[in-house]
Structures are given as C-alpha cells and as structure tokens.
Amino acid sequence: MRILMASDLFYPLLLGGGEKRMYEVARRLAKKHEIHILTRRFKGLLSYEVHEGVHIHRVFVPSGKIKLESSSDGSAFMLGALSKGINLGDFDLYAPQQFFPIFPSWLIAKAKRKPIIATIHDIYRETWLQKYGIKGALMATFEKAMLKLPYTRIITVSNSSKQKLIQCGVPEHKIEVIPNGVDVKEFDEVRVKKSEKQRVIYVGRLVGYKHVDDLLVAFSGLDFDAELFIVGEGPERKNLKNLARKLKIHDKVTFTGFVDERRKIELIKSSRVLVLPSSTEGFGIAVIEAWAARTAVIVSNIPALCELVRNGKTGLIFKLRNIADLKDKLDRVLRDKVLRNKLSTNGYKLVKKKFEWDEIANQIEKIFEVSKEKG
C-alpha cells in the first residue's frame, strides 16, 4: 500500500505519546509499504528526507517553532499540507492524527475518493476552554467540527477515549481501540543502575493540563533527600522553573528539555518512580515506558490512567489535583523498596504481554488493509 500519514510533530521531535506512536508505527509499516508523512517544518530541519524508509515531507509554518496552539501556524500548516498532499500523487489511504493534520487529509481523501482513518487520542475541549479562554473556545469549536466529519474509521487509544468520542456523536461502529506500545527490547538493551539518590521523574509535554506544578509542590514536601527530573519541553517550562525556585527546590530539580530516545530510557531506568499527574490523557504512554524500564509509577485518577494502572498492583493512583495525596504516595513508594519492586515487576510483565509496538503496528496494518479493500 501507498499510505499518507500526517502529524503536527514527527521525527526528530517526538515530544509526546502521539508523535511517538506515529513514528513507531510508520517505521514498522515502511518495511512492507510505501509510507509518507506530512508534518511541520521547524528551523534547522530539512523540507524532505527519508528516515528508516519513511518519506518525511515538512510543511512551512511562520514561527518555525513548536507552537501547536498558534492559529497562524495551524492555518499555514493546513494549507501547506493540502497543497503538498495533492502534489504527492495518489495514495491508497490517508491516516492523519489530531487535529490540524486531519482537515487537509480529509479534503484530499474525499477528493481522491480514498479511505481516511484518523487517529484521535483524546478530546481536549474542556482543557482548552479552561486554559485559553476565547482562543480555547475557537480551538474547541474546530475540534468539534473535525469530529463531525465522516471517516472510514477512527482509531483511538483507550476505552475511556472511545466513550468520549461516542458522547461527541461519533458512531460506535466506526471506532477501533488500539493502545499505545513500547519496544521492550530497546529498553532491556540499555544498561543503567538506579540512581544513588531517590530519583523521581516526569516525562511529557510541559503544558498546563499535565499539572507538573502539582508534582513540584508535592516533591517539595518530602522530608528526605531526593531529586526530580523533568523531561520534556513546552510553554510552561519557564513558569515551572520559577515555581521550583519559589519552593526552594531548584537545586534538586533538573529540567532536561527534549532528550533523544536513548537518554530518555536511561533517565527513566535510573529513576525510582515516574509520576504522571495529568487531568487529560488519552492513554499515558509514559506509564508503559516506565514499566518497560522496571520503574514504579504513580498516576492521577482520571479514566484513561485508571483503565491502564491497577492501584496497588502495577502502580499507585492518587486523587487528581490533591497534592497531599500525591505527596503521600511519593513518600510511600520512595521509602518502601518491597512495594517499588512489586509495582515495577508487575508492570514489566504486563507491558511484555500486552503493549509491544510490533503487535500494535500489526493491528493498525490490518485496519488499513480492510479499509483499503472496502474502498
């Protein structure tokens, strides 16, 4: 098959679970199919390159920076992706992921009368309304419009996200649930010891709905020596660094920025516990990465994470935005080596059984093949 996929971000900028998923699936499908990617072009990146068999086509955006909430960048990307997508010729199917990449892909697919399979990780309406005011209302309206478009199939990553899609009017029979994955072998090959200090880690975008500020406050309440690594980039980085200074823990907190895959694995494997305090997650890929690294996890009690983590078995769950509860869970995991080993061992067994990228890619490939046959 000749397949055109689209994502706001792609290699080498794999900042979140969505980009990581498309990258891992695309490079596996490229072993059997001709895979093309439309994505944004940032400063220092080529407009076209082939990486691991994947044809990457980068579209100009005015800022040249990672500003996913920028309407000017978003509009420029949609127009550029529409033009470039048409000029790339015919494809057997189109497979964008939310949300700016979907509209141009949908227009091209409909014009070409080809199947379109969109991947929608989660619904962000409430988050955008709370965070961005009038601008958030426009973003939420655009999201709602994208959900109303007729698709051949929609792939999502959890049953909780599926229920949100149904509530938004997406027909249930159009939705396929395929979770995110991880390359366990890649993690196993990285040999790293646990840090001498009690190391806590967060991995993900530095945006408001991830509530990394809650983690900083909870961490500041620990009464023993520990360190915190914040891995990722985003608009909240400056505010979070200022908060660390205000809490007088800046000497214990390391903001790494974006790191490559190997360094990320090293940091997760060397940590005692990974914390994901989000209020919005479609899946939570950092959780299964921690399991692959044999690192314990603590997550907030939102539906997607409660679906993924069994409290007391494969991780600990705290009440969202309850800093005292998060601090207590952190204290408990860091002090109790037996509990940490239990959580990390159970998580490792589960991820090997259920969340390998090869199997995830196979499931997605089957949906693509069936959709192509049906036209």
pLDDT digits (tens, 9 = 90+) for 293-344: 999 999 999 999 999 999 999 999 999 999 999 999 999 999 999 999 999 9
- Per-residue model confidence (pLDDT) at position 138: 84
- Per-residue model confidence (pLDDT) at position 367: 96
CATH classification number, 2-181+357-374, choose in 3.65.10.10, 3.40.50.300, 1.10.599.10, 3.40.50.2000: 3.40.50.2000
Residue 13 has pLDDT above 70, yes or no: yes
pLDDT tens-digit profile of 153-199? 999 999 999 999 999 999 999 999 999 999 999 999 999 999 999 99
Number of H helices, E strands in the chain: 14, 14
Residue 155 in contact with residue 366, Cβ under 8 Å?
no
Which position has the higher pLDDT, 318 or 71?
A: 318
Mean pLDDT of all residues in 278-293? 94
- Per-residue model confidence (pLDDT) at position 375: 64
Which residues make Cβ contacts (< 8 Å) with residue 156, sequence separation at least 6?
119, 120, 121, 122, 162, 165, 175, 176, 177, 178, 282
The full set of domain ranges for the chain reads 2-181+357-374, 184-354
Task: Tell me if domain 2-181+357-374 and domain 184-354 are identical in fold.
Answer: yes
Strands laid side by side in the 273-276 sheet = 253-257, 226-231, 198-203, 273-276, 296-300, 316-318
Annotation: CATH topology of 184-354: Rossmann fold (3.40.50)
Residue 141 has pLDDT above 90, yes or no: no
- Check residue 182 and report its DSSP letter: B
Residue 124 has pLDDT above 90, yes or no: no
Neighbours of 192 (CB within 10 A): 14
Which has the closest alpha carbon to 224: 337, 334, 322?
334
Q: How far are the Cα atoms of 36, 38, 159, 229, 357 from residue 22, in angstroms, in the given order? A: 11, 11, 19, 26, 11
Residue 130 has pLDDT above 80, yes or no: no
Percentage of the chain beyond pLDDT 70 is 99
Residue 272 in contact with residue 333, Cβ under 8 Å?
yes
Mean pLDDT of all residues in 223-241? 95
pTM (2 d.p.): 0.86
Q: How confident is the model at residue 24 (pLDDT cuts 50, 70, 90)?
A: very high
Q: How far are the Cα atoms of 26, 182, 317, 342, 359 from residue 349, in angstroms, in the given order? A: 26, 13, 19, 11, 16
